[in-house]
Structure formats: C-alpha cells, structure tokens
Chains A and B, each alone.
Chain A
Amino acid sequence: EAQVTQNPRYLITVTGKKLTVTCSQNMNHEYMSWYRQDPGLGLRQIYYSMNVEVTDKGDVPEGYKVSRKEKRNFPLILESPSPNQTSLYFCASRFSSGSRQETQYFGPGTRLLVL
C-alpha cells in the first residue's frame, strides 16, 4: 500500500529536550516536505526537500532541522523544543516531474506537546 508514515503519532516532551519525528514514504517520491498545522493558521510549510541531500526552507523553518540522506526518509529534528512548537505536524511527499507532480500525499500527522 502506497503511504507516508510518521512516528511517533503522539509525543509529550519538555522544553529543551531534543527530539526527532521520522517520516518515511514507499512511493519513490523525490519531493518531501514538513508542515505544521495550528488553529486559525492552517498548514504552514517548515522545510522541503527536492531530492537526496537537497533541502530548503519553507515559511516557518526557525527552530527546526531536517536531513535527507535517503530518498524514502525525511526526519524532522527539534534540537531544543519550546512550547510554541506545540502543534500538529504533517509530512508529505510527491513526484517532482511530469503530470503527476501535483499530487502530494500526506502522512497521518504527529501531535506534539512541549511542556
């Protein structure tokens, strides 16, 4: 089954404790992206990656890091989480070329609470 998976799905942590949210896709997509969703603000893009070792900032990259060492994985790293990073996080992926480029598949989401 074609899918984007995220782990963990729920996470409660404390300020300053480094954490990683993993994202993996099995569709051989070149493009992957991270978003956060907050009430009244909608989805905001954090980082995206065009392919392995190619990443760039989205709209709200502050406080986040990413890496793309393998095509299927795109982890989101919070080096020192703060309460304002409490949010619902989504990973997404799609092909980068051809007529299929418009279909972006989203993962199930990771709900993060930073105390």
Chain B
Amino acid sequence: QKEVEQDPGPLSVPEGAIVSLNCTYSNSAFQYFMWYRQYSRKGPELLMYTYSSGNKEDGRFTAQVDKSSKYISLFIRDSQPSDSATYLCAMGGYNFNKFYFGSGTKLNVKP
C-alpha cells in the first residue's frame, strides 16, 4: 500500500468552477501537509502548507486536513485557465526531513 494515494485525473472543469482535489494517507505519524502545483516541464512549487488538522485559506485556495479520516483536500474557488497544472499533495512527519508525495492530479480549466 502506498503511503499517499491521489487520484491522477485528469480533471477537466469550466472556468469559474470550484475544484476539489483530495489525497488519502495511511501513516498516522504525518503532521505536515502540503500542496504543490507543477506546470508542465517545471519543478513543483509550494501552494499551501498546514500543520495538523484544520483549515487554511489563501486567496482562492483552501486546504483542509482531517487527521481522523487521514484525508486532505485542496479547494480552488473561481478556477482560472492559469490554474491548469498538476497538483501534488505531500506529507511529512515530526522531523520534517522525509517527505511523501501523492502521484499528482492533472487539472485542466477550460476557458
């Protein structure tokens, strides 16, 4: 069983839609939860970071962590064509040295 599971998509939505991206994980020791965005032929860039359970909002992006269900989500409001990319969830334990990534969900926002 993989440490982190993520639906690869692709997910295609019209511009302005609300997008929901999700990951599940198996290791209850994970405490740090991150979402990265990766454009084609580029390295990942950090979008959101949360520690432990709860919600965090940054502009059009909201990250949610439910540690009891081992489930994390990223919501994108008012999605734009520029949001078209692959979104990777990532998790780390208490020492924040080893990281585990999901396989990524490819998102396409149509104008």
Decide: B103 and A106 in contact? CB cutoff 8 A. no
> Which residues from 89 to 115 on chain A have a C-beta closer than 8 Å to any C-beta of chain B?
90, 92, 101-104, 106-109
Decide: A108 and B43 in contact? CB cutoff 8 A. yes
Decide: B32 and A48 in contact? CB cutoff 8 A. no
- In the complex, A106 Cα to B88 Cα: how many Å? 13
Number of interface residues of B (CB under 8 A): 23
B76 on interface, CB distance cutoff 8 Å: no
Q: Interface on chain A toward B: helix, strand, loop, or mixed SS?
A: strand
- For B103, list chain A residues within 8 Å (CB): 40-42
Name the CB-closest residue of B to A101.
Answer: B96
Which B positions have Cβ atoms within 8 angstroms of A? 4, 6, 8, 32, 34, 41-46, 49, 88, 90, 96-104
Which A positions have Cβ atoms within 8 angstroms of B? 4, 31, 33, 35, 40-45, 48, 50, 56, 58-59, 90, 92, 101-104, 106-109
